[in-house]
């Protein structure tokens, strides 16, 4: 941890930097002095723009990105599979199916969120019930059940897209690729992220052990049965909340934990706080670019997480090989 303190501080700075960037950039550019005067005496030129539009959106991006990153980290420790992310267990497929059904029924955005959340929970319960089965659920069985369910959800999603009227398809596609335009992150979402981050940090040593082998972890005194359940439900909850707020934003849950492992190692005491900061920062940056690169057209943020993420990830993966 102490050797990773500089890296964590750097991440914190990057996070603050990304918030500033998110406040400055947009159809109406905000200069640094405007920003400072708005922040200091709360009555600058762009008061409303900054405090009512851009700051809430940046904070929403941060909390969703942080939740997705942390969910990915916990899932990877749980399944001991580097490919695990919140999406692989079919959670996002369930959420998307729920959301699309609500859209098709012409329901409002709050109901769409509720439907997405219910879909995610349904998927979680299904995976758990099926994979739990007879004896112990091995991680491979859990993973396979999730993948198969996800395929089923995908078929349902395609079906819903095909039968939907043309004017709704655009909104549905945006939802499927993640969109923060209408996201309202209430205080409880931040509290939830803070509580689970703290809990995961307190469980960092057991997390280190279980990610290196379940039998070994049990023999070294970790109650793996309890820990697995806890990880499964916290990671699923984080994913369900993030997706129901912002749509299915891919990639952050997979990418953020791996990028960090490549740079700061595999100790969860550093990984847990770092993954929240990095996930949040990545999503703020992606969202800021999503609403500015082709302005006034807004892009789904999922496109940007991939465009930013793929080259960075590949660079980190291969930089030690040469």
Partner 1 sequence: MSTLRCKKLGVVIGDTRVCEDLNLELGDGQSWAVLGRNGSGKTTLLHTLAGLRPAQQGSILLNGQSLAEQSKKQIARHLGVLFQTEIDHFPTTVLEYTLMGRHPHLGWLQWESEADIAIAEQALQQVDLLDLKQRDISTLSGGERRRMNIACLLTQAPDIALLDEPSNHLDLQHQIETLSLVREQYRQRLLLMSAHDINLATRFCSHAILLFGDGKLTHGTFNDVVTTASLQHLYGVAINSVQADGHTLYYPA
Nearest-approach distance from CB 211 to partner 1, in angstroms? 6
Question: Which residues make Cβ contacts (< 8 Å) with residue 222, sequence separation at least 6?
Answer: 206, 209, 210
Q: Kindly state whether residue 219 participates in binding partner 1, applying the rule CB under 8 A.
A: yes
The phi-psi region of residue 302 (left if phi > 0; otherwise alpha if psi is between -120 and 50; otherwise beta) is alpha
Q: From the list 19, 50, 121, 222, which residue makes contact with partner 1 (rule: CB under 8 A)?
A: 222
Applying CB under 8 A, the span of 37-45, 46-54, 100-108, 262-270 interacting with partner 1 comes to: 262-270
Nearest-approach distance from CB 286 to partner 1, in angstroms? 25
Scanning 178-300, the segments in alpha helix (DSSP H) are: 187-202, 204-210, 214-219, 224-246, 252-264, 268-292
Q: Kindly state whether residue 228 participates in binding partner 1, applying the rule CB under 8 A.
A: no
> Which residue lies nearer to partner 1 by CB, 82 or 311?
82
Q: From the list 38, 76, 200, 288, which residue makes contact with partner 1 (rule: CB under 8 A)?
A: 76
> Which residue lies nearer to partner 1 by CB, 59 or 77?
77
Cα–Cα distance for residue pair 182/298, rounded to 1 Å: 12
Number of neighbouring beta carbons within 10 Å of residue 296: 7
> Which residue lies nearer to partner 1 by CB, 26 or 206?
206
Cα–Cα distance for residue pair 15/10, rounded to 1 Å: 9
8 A C-beta contact, residue 250 and residue 220: no
First-to-last CA distance in the chain?
A: 28
Applying CB under 8 A, the span of 120-128, 152-160, 260-268, 284-292 interacting with partner 1 comes to: 260-268
Cα–Cα distance for residue pair 277/32, rounded to 1 Å: 24
Please, what's the b/e burial string for 114-142 (b: 16 or more CB within 10 A of its CB; e: otherwise)? bbbbbbbbbbbebbbebbeeeeebeeeeb
Q: From the list 164, 218, 292, 298, which residue makes contact with partner 1 (rule: CB under 8 A)?
A: 218
Nearest-approach distance from CB 193 to partner 1, in angstroms? 20
The footprint of partner 1 on residues 190-209 (CB under 8 A) is: 202, 205-206, 208-209
> Which residue lies nearer to partner 1 by CB, 76 or 97?
76
Question: Which residues make Cβ contacts (< 8 Å) with residue 49, sequence separation at least 6?
Answer: 26, 28, 30
> Which residue lies nearer to partner 1 by CB, 45 or 262?
262
Nearest-approach distance from CB 17 to partner 1, in angstroms? 28
Positions touching partner 1 (CB under 8 A) are 1, 76, 80-82, 202, 205-206, 208-209, 211-213, 215-216, 218-224, 261-262, 265-267, 269
């Amino acid at each position: 941890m102490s050797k990773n303190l500089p890296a964590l501080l750097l991440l914190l700075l990057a996070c603050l930097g990304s918030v500033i960037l998110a406040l400055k950039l947009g159809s109406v550019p905000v200069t640094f002095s405007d920003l400072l005067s708005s922040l200091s005496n709360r009555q600058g030129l762009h008061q409303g723009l900054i405090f009512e539009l851009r700051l809430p959106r940046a904070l929403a991006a941060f909390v969703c990105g942080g939740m997705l990153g942390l969910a990915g980290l916990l899932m990877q420790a749980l399944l001991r599979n580097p490919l695990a992310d919140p999406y692989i267990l079919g959670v996002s497929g369930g959420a998307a199916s729920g959301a699309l059904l609500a859209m098709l029924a012409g329901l409002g955005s709050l109901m769409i969120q509720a439907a997405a959340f219910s879909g995610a929970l349904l998927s979680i319960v299904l995976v758990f019930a099926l994979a739990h089965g007879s004896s112990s659920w091995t991680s491979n069985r859990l993973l396979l059940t999730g993948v198969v369910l996800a395929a089923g959800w995908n078929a349902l999603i395609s079906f819903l897209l095909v039968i939907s009227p043309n004017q709704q398809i655009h909104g549905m596609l945006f939802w499927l690729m993640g969109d923060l335009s209408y996201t309202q992150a209430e205080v409880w979402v931040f509290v939830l992220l803070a509580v689970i981050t703290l809990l995961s940090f307190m469980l960092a040593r057991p997390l280190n052990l279980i990610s290196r082998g379940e039998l070994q972890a049990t023999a070294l005194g970790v109650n793996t049965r309890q820990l697995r359940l806890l990880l499964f439900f916290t990671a699923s909850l984080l994913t369900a909340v993030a997706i129901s707020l912002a749509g299915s934003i891919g990639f952050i849950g997979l990418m953020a934990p791996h990028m960090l492992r490549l740079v700061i190692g595999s100790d969860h005491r550093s990984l847990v706080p770092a993954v929240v900061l990095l996930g949040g920062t990545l999503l703020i940056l992606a969202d800021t670019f999503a609403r500015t690169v082709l302005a006034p057209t807004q892009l789904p943020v999922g496109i940007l997480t991939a465009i930013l993420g793929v080259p960075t990830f590949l660079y980190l993966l291969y930089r030690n090989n040469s």
